[in-house]
Structure 1
Amino acid sequence: MSKRQNISSGSPREPILGYSRAVRVGNLVFVAGTTSGGIGDTAAKQTREIFTRIENALTQAGATLQDIVRTRVFLTDMADFDAVGTVHGELFRDILPVTSTIGTTALAAPDILVEIEVDAVLGTN
């Protein structure tokens, strides 16, 4: 059985809410729903910050963006779909993970416009 590796971002919310930023089991890495922490005043800017944070978690797990096989994008305003999709496309046009985009009425704070989670499989690139 593969050993579990919990990866923390250092957020004080992780122990309070009982979650890890990412978990690696064997060659699988699951990254929790990630926000920009309010950095960025547009959905596109927040998306860029989110993928920087996701990439940091993946690096700690021994993975890269190229190992991502699935993304899930949550938007508070579906009018931001194209702006977020353009950033996603810039990052993943050669990787082509499966993706879902879900509209939601709210995220963790009013200034959070986007939340993204990913699944990665090491050795797929």
Structure 2
Amino acid sequence: MSASAPKTALTPATHTTPPARFSHGVRKGTILQVAGQVGFGPAREGEAPRPVGPGLREQTLQTFANVEAILKEGGAAWEDVMMVRVYLTDTDHFAEFNRIYDEYFAGLEEAPPARTTVYVGLPAGLLVEADALAVLG
């Protein structure tokens, strides 16, 4: 990767402008980093982001859709993802999350990404957050 490769911020049309000075995703050369995404539904003009539902399944699937939108915006796909970090608010959600995760990624043709899962506090109503690191090429 050339040191002179431009660093490009990625914000899909489905996402709101970040609430602080960060990017939803950044690509530089063949590296694409997706910032932590949560289960907010697609952006609606004049409305604050809201979780898609109260359940882990709905929020997890929307979280993955939000990560995927940024991957696509940067020219990547799940097959390019090397690492996924998952943040859960409740240790009791681990087994259910793993079932959803396994189902979601069942179609990957190459090795699944490495994954770390940690337990955190998230804003009220949010149950899961995920970020991803992709390498293209």
TM over 0.5: yes
Query: Which structure: greater helix fraction?
Result: 1
Corresponding residue to 2:39 among 17, 21, 36: 36
How far residue 40 of structure 1 moved from its aligned partner, in angstroms, is 2.3
Give 1:20's aligned residue: 23
The alignment partner of 2:99 has SS state of helix
User: Gapped runs of 5+ residues in structure 1?
Assistant: none
- Could you tell me how far apart the structure 2 residues matched to 1:80 and 1:73 are? 12
Q: Which has the larger radius of gyration?
A: 2
- Could you tell me how far apart the structure 2 residues matched to 1:66 and 1:96 are? 8
Corresponding residue to 1:6 among 5, 9, 23: 9
Q: Which aligned pairs between 1:1-125 and structure 2 lie closer than 5 A?
A: 1-9=4-12, 10-12=15-17, 14=18, 16-37=19-40, 38-93=51-106, 94=108, 95-104=111-120, 106-107=121-122, 109-123=123-137
CA RMSD of aligned residues (A): 1.4
User: Counterpart amino acid of 1:27?
Assistant: T
How far residue 83 of structure 1 moved from its aligned partner, in angstroms, is 1.4
- Could you tell me how far apart the structure 1 residues matched to 2:100 and 2:22 are? 27
- Could you tell me how far apart the structure 2 residues matched to 1:33 and 1:24 are? 15
TM-score normalised to the size of structure 1?
Answer: 0.88
**CA offsets 1:46-68 (integer angstroms, 9 cap, x no match):** 11001111111111100011111
The alignment partner of 1:17 has SS state of coil
State the number of aligned residues: 119
TM-score normalised to the size of structure 2?
Answer: 0.81
Percent same amino acid at aligned positions? 29
- Could you tell me how far apart the structure 2 residues matched to 1:61 and 1:101 are? 24
User: Gapped runs of 5+ residues in structure 2?
Assistant: 41-50
The alignment partner of 1:79 has SS state of helix
